[in-house]
C-alpha cells in the first residue's frame, strides 16, 4: 500500500534497495603455446549516482497553497528518517475544485540504485490533509502534531515505560489478529531500546472479522483495571501465545481465563467486570480513537502521532522512532 506519511512512500521508503547482481567473468584456459598479449581487464561498472530530476517548470506552480516550503517540510517530516531518500517538488497545480491543489513530486535515492518515480497527491482546502490514492492523510509543516495531541488526551490504555508523554508510542491491536501477535516481537524490542518512552496498548478489535476480539478486549480492560499495567501485559502475552484458542466462543473463554490466571487475577471477577457497560464503553472509545486517527488496519503504531505499521522491519521502525524524537526535540 503506497502512502506518503506513515504508509505513503512506505513501499518506496521501507523497501531495501540492493545493487544489481554482476556475474563474475569466466576464467579463460591458457593454451600450450605462448599466449598473445593479455586481453584488457573488463572495465569496472560505473558507480551509481544520485538521480538528476528534470528542472521544475515554473508554469506548473499555479496554486497559491500549499507553498513549496510546506510541501518540502511535509516530505522531510515523513521521509527524513531515510538518509538516502531524495525528492523534488515538481508541480503544485490548481484543480477544477476550489481550494484543492495537486502536488507532484519526484522520488529517488542518493545512490541511484532505485529508478526515480513520480508521485502525485491532492491537498484539501483545510491545508491539513491530503488524498493519496484512496487514503486520507495528515499534511502540513508538522503533519503529526494534531494526532500527537489527540493521543496525549485520549490514549488511556495500560502502558509500559515512562509516565511522561514526551515520547509516546501507542499500539492499536486486536487480540485475535495474527499480524498483531507477530508484531509483539517488535514491541518487546521497543520497550528494551526506548526505556524512557511511554508505550501504550489500545484495543482495536475488528469485530467483523474476529468474532472473539471484543470479548478479549473487555477482559484486557478488566485485568488492567483490577491488576494494573503489569498484570495486563502478562495477560496480553498469554492471550497472544494462545491465540489459536480464540477461534471459537468456548475456546475463547478457556484461553482468556487461562491468561487471567497467568496474570494473577481472579477469573470470576474479571468475567463479571467484562460484562459491565462501563467496560464496553471503554473498548468502544478506544475503537473510536483509532477511527478518528484514520487507522485502517491492525497492528498500527502511532509514534508521537506518526502512523507506522507495527510489524515493519525492526531496524526501520527503530530508525523512525529515533527520527521522530529528533523532530520533536526529545533527548533520551
**pLDDT at residue 2 above 70?**
no
Tell me what the mean pLDDT of segment 250-267 comes to: 98
Give the per-residue pLDDT at 307.
96
Domain extents for the chain? 48-140, 146-327
| pLDDT band with cut points at 50, 70 and 90 for residue 51 | confident
Give the per-residue pLDDT at 116.
86
| pLDDT band with cut points at 50, 70 and 90 for residue 134 | confident
How many helical (H) and strand (E) elements, i.e. helices and strands, does the chain have? Answer: 9, 10
Q: Hunting for cell 508541480 — which residue is that? A: 91
Give the per-residue pLDDT at 128.
95
CA 323 to chain centre: 13
CATH class of the domain comprising 146-327: alpha beta
**pLDDT at residue 42 above 60?**
no
Give the per-residue pLDDT at 322.
97
**pLDDT at residue 127 above 80?**
yes
Give the per-residue pLDDT at 32.
39
Give the per-residue pLDDT at 27.
24
Percentage of the chain modeled with pLDDT above 70: 85
Phi (first) and psi of residue 81, to 5 degrees: -65, -20
**pLDDT at residue 232 above 50?**
yes
Tell me what the mean pLDDT of segment 78-92 comes to: 95
| Range name among 35-39, 280-284, 294-298, 314-318 with the lowest pLDDT average | 35-39
Tell me what the mean pLDDT of segment 152-162 comes to: 98
Identify the three-state secondary structure at position 51. coil
| pLDDT band with cut points at 50, 70 and 90 for residue 52 | confident
CA 48 to chain centre: 30
Whether pTM > 0.85 for this model: the answer is: no
- Taking the C-alpha atoms of residue 9 and residue 146, their distance in angstroms, rounded to an integer, is 21
| pLDDT band with cut points at 50, 70 and 90 for residue 20 | very low
Cell of 60: 506548473
Phi (first) and psi of residue 302, to 5 degrees: -115, 115
Q: Hunting for cell 519526484 — which residue is that? A: 106
**pLDDT at residue 47 above 90?**
no
| pLDDT band with cut points at 50, 70 and 90 for residue 115 | confident
**pLDDT at residue 10 above 70?**
no
For residues 116 and 88, the answer to whether their CB atoms sit within 8 Å is no
Tell me what the mean pLDDT of segment 134-141 comes to: 93
Cell of 176: 485475535
**pLDDT at residue 28 above 80?**
no
Tell me what the mean pLDDT of segment 177-197 comes to: 97
Amino acid at each position: 500500500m503506497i502512502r506518503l506519511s506513515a504508509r505513503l512512500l512506505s513501499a518506496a521508503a521501507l523497501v531495501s534497495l540492493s545493487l544489481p547482481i554482476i556475474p563474475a567473468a569466466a576464467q579463460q584456459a591458457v593454451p600450450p603455446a605462448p599466449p598473445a598479449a593479455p586481453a584488457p581487464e573488463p572495465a569496472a561498472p560505473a558507480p551509481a549516482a544520485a538521480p538528476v530530476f528534470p528542472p521544475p517548470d515554473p508554469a506548473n506552480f499555479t496554486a497559491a497553497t500549499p507553498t513549496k516550503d510546506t510541501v518540502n517540510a511535509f516530505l522531510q517530516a515523513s521521509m527524513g528518517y531515510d538518509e538516502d531518500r531524495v525528492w523534488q517538488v515538481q508541480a503544485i497545480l490548481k484543480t477544477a475544485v476550489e481550494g484543492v491543489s495537486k502536488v507532484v513530486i519526484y522520488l529517488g535515492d542518493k545512490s541511484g540504485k532505485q529508478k526515480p518515480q513520480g508521485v502525485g497527491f491532492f491537498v484539501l482546502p483545510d491545508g491539513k490533509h491530503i488524498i493519496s490514492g484512496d487514503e486520507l492523510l495528515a499534511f502540513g509543516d508538522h503533519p503529526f502534531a494534531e494526532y500527537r495531541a489527540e493521543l496525549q488526551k485520549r490514549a488511556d490504555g495500560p502502558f509500559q515505560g515512562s509516565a511522561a508523554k514526551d515520547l509516546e508510542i501507542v499500539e492499536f491491536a486486536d487480540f485475535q489478529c495474527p499480524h498483531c501477535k507477530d508484531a509483539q516481537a517488535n514491541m518487546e524490542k521497543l520497550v528494551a531500546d526506548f526505556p524512557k518512552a511511554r508505550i501504550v496498548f489500545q484495543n482495536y478489535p475488528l469485530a467483523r472479522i474476529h468474532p472473539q476480539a471484543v470479548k478479549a478486549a473487555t477482559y484486557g480492560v478488566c485485568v488492567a483495571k483490577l491488576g494494573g499495567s503489569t498484570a495486563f501485559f502478562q495477560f496480553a502475552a498469554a492471550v497472544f501465545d494462545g491465540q489459536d484458542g480464540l477461534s471459537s466462543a468456548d475456546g475463547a473463554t478457556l484461553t482468556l481465563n487461562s491468561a487471567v490466571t497467568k496474570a494473577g487475577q481472579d477469573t470470576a471477577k474479571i468475567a463479571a467486570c467484562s460484562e459491565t457497560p462501563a467496560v464496553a464503553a471503554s473498548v468502544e472509545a478506544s475503537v473510536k480513537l483509532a477511527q478518528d486517527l484514520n487507522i485502517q488496519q491492525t497492528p498500527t503504531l502511532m509514534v508521537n502521532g506518526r502512523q507506522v505499521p507495527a510489524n515493519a522491519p525492526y531496524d526501520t521502525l527503530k530508525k523512525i522512532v529515533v527520527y521522530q524524537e529528533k523532530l520533536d526535540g526529545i533527548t533520551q
